Amino acid sequence: MMNTAEFIDCLENIGIRKFAGVPCSFLTHLINEALNRKIYEPFVNEGDAVAYAAGACLAGEKVAVIMQNSGLTNALSPLTSLNELFGLHVLLIIGNRGKDDEPQHKIMAEAVKPFLDTLGIPYFCAEEEGAIEKAKECLKSHCAALLVNTKDTFSPVLLQENDKNKELGKPARCDILSAVADCVGREVIVTTTGFTSREMFCIKDRPQNFYMVGSMGCLSSLAAGIAEGMPGNRVIAVDGDSACLMRLGALYTLTEKQPDNLCYIVLDNEANESTGGQVNSLGESRLFDVMSSMYPTKEVCSAEEMAKAIRIFQKEGKYTQLYVRTRKGTMKNLPRPDKALLYGQAKRFCKE
């Protein structure tokens, strides 16, 4: 285990004064330390963080980019056609989830190194002796990456300031999910990456559920594809705020389509809770206003209100957009969906 504060000090010694990125649970303590030092810029998509770091480079500053290996796919466009192309070399710190981890990490875990090799980006294990110095040398000619291969790489750092009062009176994610599960008959339920899928699996697993455990940000498009392909059935999609923000453009497309048989719900806890509760913006959430600017959105404040809103959707058969401010926290002893079930879930769904 490395001392997190010392690691950031070492990066500061090579001129890195700021971090930008999207979290990974392997990097929680690193992000906490950077947040506590007020040198972390939250982004909603890894590609945006990489482009921001390129801009900082143009301005003569050095920003390191933090991401999960899954986020490398989001970052490929700016990495290849901006940073590498124009010599705007940035340090990437990548949470390298392994192939024996959850199913959503299987393919990317094996693809990270070949991807980086193809791009000509050298990489080092963050814990390797002299990794930061070696990366510094490489940054002269390319971007460089430090791979963080375990969740215990960094020593624990608690996040300062946590305004618990903000949470008072808000429903828990699981209360809302239970209300949704209780209202459905034949409806399809699709749920987003992280705790939302894990909790829905635990509350009520059924063949008509699809747990979108990876591809963060893609839920609204996945749901639109199902809804348009199954006009005879209704679809309820439950997304998270960070996931919705990651591909906000998809919501723009969805609100043009407005499938009659789709109800799109965002649970906003103002955090990437599934990876450790890191913020996704620097201020109060503006997501309700943003969603409402695209399509009339109803704010729901309790499980009872959610049940009522779902019944209206079922009766009216009209595209429905719901927004809930939820408190942080998960169900106790939350299990992960069985791996075999996840691998087989598309087949199970299609049989229905």
Q: Which residues bind ligand TPP (CB under 6 A)?
A: 22-24, 68, 70-71, 74, 192-196, 214, 216, 240-243, 269, 271-275
Contacts of residue 43, defined as CB under 8 A and 6 or more positions apart, other chains included, come to 20, 21, 22, 49, 52
**Minimum CB distance to ligand TPP smaller for 261 or for 280:** 280
**Minimum CB distance to ligand TPP smaller for 33 or for 46:** 46
State the Cα–Cα distance between residues 125 and 143, nearest whole angstrom: 15
**Minimum CB distance to ligand TPP smaller for 191 or for 345:** 191
For the CB of residue 336, give the shortest distance to ligand TPP in the complex, in Å: 13
**Minimum CB distance to ligand TPP smaller for 4 or for 74:** 74
State the Cα–Cα distance between residues 188 and 204, nearest whole angstrom: 12
For the CB of residue 261, give the shortest distance to ligand TPP in the complex, in Å: 24
**Minimum CB distance to ligand TPP smaller for 63 or for 243:** 243
State the Cα–Cα distance between residues 301 and 296, nearest whole angstrom: 16
**Minimum CB distance to ligand TPP smaller for 112 or for 139:** 112
For the CB of residue 165, give the shortest distance to ligand TPP in the complex, in Å: 19
For the CB of residue 272, give the shortest distance to ligand TPP in the complex, in Å: 4
State the Cα–Cα distance between residues 156 and 5, nearest whole angstrom: 10
Residue 295's CB is within 10 A of a number of other CB atoms, namely 16
Cα 99 to the center of its chain, rounded Å = 19
Helix H segments across the chain?
A: 4-13, 28-36, 46-58, 71-78, 106-119, 131-138, 173-183, 195-203, 219-229, 241-246, 248-257, 287-294, 303-316, 339-351
For the CB of residue 48, give the shortest distance to ligand TPP in the complex, in Å: 12
Residue number of the CB closest to ligand TPP reads: 240
Please report how many Cα atoms fall inside a 13 Å half-sphere around the Cα of residue 12, on the Cβ side.
11
Helix (H, G, I), strand (E, B) or coil at 144: strand
For the CB of residue 134, give the shortest distance to ligand TPP in the complex, in Å: 26
